[in-house]
């Protein structure tokens, strides 16, 4: 096989780097798209919590007592889950952003506006109006906390 000169080698390296960069950009786009719905932090935590749940069932299935250290870790995760969900649902949080996008869809099956936090600023004269286009999306909804979501037909 003939010797390759430096220019040919550099051209091949350049093509490989362009291919690698193109593929990397595509992978990063997929990651950003996936995280726009469920942040990686939440997804990984939920997988861990689910694994703990499965391990607990494994012990019970075999007739063994679930170890105390495992139960304590499940308790810790229960509290942490509540904290993470509160953080993600807070105004400007990842789930809040998705919920706001969803609430704008008039064809939703469920009412997502009931879980949105009210605006934190005072309405000023001349400010734009309500985003509900004159419809009260919460009309007829029970105000009791813990009520079932309103089914939109």
Local confidence band at 69 (pLDDT 50, 70, 90 cut-offs): very high
Average pLDDT on 46-70 reads 97
Max Cα distance, the chain (Å): 82
State residue 78's pLDDT score.
95
Tokens of 150: 């309103």
State residue 63's pLDDT score.
96
Does pLDDT of 62 surpass 70? yes
d(Cα 98, Cα 130) in Å, to the nearest integer?
A: 19
β partners of residue 110: 151
3-state secondary structure of 151: strand
pTM for the whole structure: 0.57
């Amino acid at each position: 096989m003939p010797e390759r000169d430096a220019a040919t080698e550099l051209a091949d390296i350049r093509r490989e780097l362009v291919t690698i960069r193109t593929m990397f950009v595509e992978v990063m786009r997929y990651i950003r798209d996936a995280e726009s719905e469920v942040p990686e932090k939440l997804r990984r935590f939920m997988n861990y919590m689910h694994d703990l749940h499965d391990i607990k069932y494994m012990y019970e299935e075999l007739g063994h007592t679930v170890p105390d250290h495992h139960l304590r870790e499940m308790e810790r995760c229960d509290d942490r889950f509540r904290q993470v969900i509160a953080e993600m649902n807070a105004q400007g949080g990842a789930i809040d952003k998705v919920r706001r996008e969803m609430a704008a869809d008039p064809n939703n099956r469920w009412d997502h506006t009931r879980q949105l936090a009210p605006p934190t600023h005072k309405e000023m004269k001349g400010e734009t109006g309500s985003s509900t286009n004159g419809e009260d999306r919460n009309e007829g909804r029970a105000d009791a906390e813990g009520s079932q979501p309103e089914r939109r037909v």
